[in-house]
Amino acid sequence: MLTNKRLVMALSTAALVVSAPASAQTVLNVASGGSQNMVEYITDYLGPMFEKQNPGVKVRVTGTGPGDAGSQKILEKLEAQSAAGKEVWDLDVVVAAQKKTGEMVEKGLLANYRSEISTGKLVTRDTAKTALGVNVDGYVMPMFHSQTAIAYNPDVVSDPPTSYDELRAWTEKHPKAFGYNGIKNGMSGLAFVVGWMYAYSGDAATIQNGPYDPAKKAGWSKPLADLKDFNKNISFTPGNAGTLDMLNRGEIVMGPVWVDMFYSWQADGRVSPNLKLKLLSPGMPGQPYYYGTPTKAENKELAKKFIELATSPKVQAEGIVNKFNWYPGIDANHVEAALDKAVWKKLFTDVTPADLAAKGKPFPIAPYFDDIKEGYEKQVSN
C-alpha cells in the first residue's frame, strides 16, 4: 500500500514538475514570411539561442511561405486583428519582405522601435530607411540582404553571358536551356523580369526611386513584347526551388536564383558543387528581409530583445553569413570583424563585392512594381 501511495505521489510530483514550467512559459510568436531556410534559421539557430538566454521563454516560429505571398499572410493577420479591434495581437515578431512591410508601416500595424534597441545604429543601408519608396525609417531592422544572380553549369556553358543582351543571344542559340519561374511562383523569376525592365525600359533610376508617373507604363510595350519573344526560347520552372531543382537534374543549364538558396543547396548536396553564379549587367535586383514588431504585440519588450540579438554583429556573422550564406543586414564592417577571412571570401567568390555594388539593384517602388507585374501578365503571359 505504502509503495502504491508513494508511487502516486511520485507520479503527481513528476506531473507537476513536467507541467509547471510548461504553463509558466512565455511564448514569443514569430511569423516568418520567407523560405523554409529562413524558418529553420529561427527554429534551429536563433530560437534555441534566445531560449537559452531567456529561461522560461519559448520561441514559436511559423513560416507563412516565401515571396510577397508569405508576407501578405502576415499583413492580413495583423490587419484582421486590428480591424476586429483586438487589444493584444498574436504575433510578436514579424519577418517580412520589403513591399508588404512598407504596407504594414503605412497601415500603422508596426511599431517604431529601432531607436530603442542597441543595434539600431549599426544599420547603414538605404533599405533600412525606405522600402520600395515607402518611408520605414525606425520601424524595421534588416535581417539580411539577399541578391539574385544567374546560376549556370560551367561543364556545359563555358562562356556564360554577362549581360541581358548576351543572354538573349545565348537563348536563341540554345533554346530551352535557360529557365526561370515566371512571375507568379517565387521572387527569383520576378527579379529576372525586373532586371529585364531595368535593362530595356530606358529609365531604371525612376523605376527604382520614383517619382511615380502612371503614364510611364504605356512606353513599355516594346520591352514586354521582346520578353514575350524571349520566353519562347526558354523553359519555365516551378518556383524558386524549381529552378535550382531543374538545374540540379540537368533539365536546364542556366537560370536566375537567390544567392543564399544556391549556396545552401550546394552545402546540402542538393545541387552539384560545380555550379557557378553570375550577376548580369546592367543589374539584377536584391532585397532585404525586415524584422518588425506589431504595434500591439503581446510581448513587446521580449520582441525587441529578440531582434536585438538577431541583429548583433556576432549573430549576423555566425548565423547570417556563415551558416546561412546571406549578406549581412547590418553594416558589413561590423560583421567582417567578427568573421573568419575564409568564410567572408566564400560568400564573394562568384559575385565580387564590386559586382554587388555596381549590379546589385533594389526592387522598383511599389506602384511601378505592380505595373511591371501587370504589364507582364497582360502583355507577356496572356
Partner 1 sequence: MSNETISVGPGRTTALLLVAPSLLMIGFLFLYPFAYSVLSAFVDNGTGDWHVANFIKAVDFYSNDILFTIIIVLLSTVLIGFFAIAIAGYLTLGENRFAVSLLRWLYRWPLFIPFIVSAQLMRTFLAKNGMMNNMLVGSGLMEPLSAVSFLDWRGIVITFVWKQTPFVTLLVAGAMASLDRTTIEAGRNLGASRLRVLIELVVPQVATTLMVGLILSYVVMLSVLSVPLMINAQSPTMLTVDMAWRINSYGDYGIANALGIMSYLFTGIVAWFYLRQSLKEKGAMK
Partner 2 sequence: MIPSDIVARSLALAARVLAIGGLAFVIFGPITNMLLWSVAEVWYYPHKLPLEWGFAFWERVFRPQGNAMESLFSSISIALLTVVVSLTVAIPAGYALARGRLPMRYLIMLLFLLPQAFPAVAVHMNVARIFYGWSLTGTTTGVVLVHASQGMVFAVWIATAAFSAVDGELEAAARNIGASRWQAFRDVTLPLALPGILASAIFVFLISMDEFTGTYFVGAPDIITLPMLLFTSSMEGNYQIASISSLILLVPSVAFMFVIERFLKADVLAKVGG
Within 249-288, the residues that bind partner 2 by CB under 8 A are: 249-251, 265, 269-272
CB atoms within 10 A of CB 79: 15
How many chain residues touch partner 2 (CB under 8 A)?
42
Among residues 184, 276, 296, 305, which is the contact residue for partner 1, using CB under 8 A?
A: 184
Cβ proximity to partner 2, 89 vs 198, nearer residue? 89
Q: Does 377 bind partner 1 (CB under 8 A)?
A: yes
Cβ proximity to partner 1, 251 vs 331, nearer residue? 251
Q: Does 189 bind partner 2 (CB under 8 A)?
A: no
Among residues 2, 249, 273, 354, which is the contact residue for partner 1, using CB under 8 A?
A: 249
Among residues 130, 163, 231, 248, which is the contact residue for partner 2, using CB under 8 A?
A: 248
**Nearest CA-CA partner of 197 in 364, 68, 379:** 364
CB atoms within 10 A of CB 330: 28
> How far, in Å, CA of 100 to CA of 161, rounded?
33
373 binding partner (options partner 1, partner 2, none; Cβ < 5 to 8 Å by kind): partner 1
Running DSSP on this structure, what letter comes out for residue 294?
A: B
Q: How far is the CB of 202 from partner 2 (least distance, A)?
A: 35
Within 213-242, the residues that bind partner 1 by CB under 8 A are: 235-236, 238-239
Which residue do the cell numbers 490587419 mark?
A: 79
Question: Grid coordinates representing 23?
Answer: 504553463
Q: Does 343 bind partner 1 (CB under 8 A)?
A: no
Among residues 16, 22, 83, 357, which is the contact residue for partner 2, using CB under 8 A?
A: 83
Within 128-187, the residues that bind partner 2 by CB under 8 A are: 186
Q: Does 55 bind partner 2 (CB under 8 A)?
A: no
Which residues neighbour 289 within 8 Å (Cβ) at sequence distance 6 or greater? 33, 34, 38, 95, 96, 97, 142, 143, 144, 146, 329
Binding mask 86-125 for partner 1 (x = CB under 8 A): -----------------x----------------------
Cis, peptide link before residue 211, omega less than 30° from 0: yes
Residue 156 · residue 253 · CB < 8 Å: yes
Question: Grid coordinates representing 173?
Answer: 542559340
How many Å is the Cα radius of gyration of the chain? 23
Within 1-30, the residues that bind partner 2 by CB under 8 A are: 29
Partners of 95 in beta bridges: 32, 291
How many chain residues touch partner 1 (CB under 8 A)?
28
Q: Does 173 bind partner 1 (CB under 8 A)?
A: no
**Nearest CA-CA partner of 179 in 122, 230, 121, 113:** 230
Reduced to 3 states, what is the DSSP secondary structure of residue 194? helix
> Rounded to the nearest 5°, which phi and psi values hold at 29?
-90, 120
Which residues neighbour 230 within 8 Å (Cβ) at sequence distance 6 or greater? 168, 171, 196
Give the binding site for partner 2 (CB under 8 A).
29, 31, 35-37, 39, 43-44, 47-48, 60, 62-66, 73, 76-77, 80-81, 83-84, 86, 90-91, 186, 239-242, 244-245, 248-251, 265, 269-272
Give the binding site for partner 1 (CB under 8 A).
67-69, 72-73, 75, 103, 181-182, 184-185, 235-236, 238-239, 245-246, 249-251, 370, 373-374, 377-378, 380-382
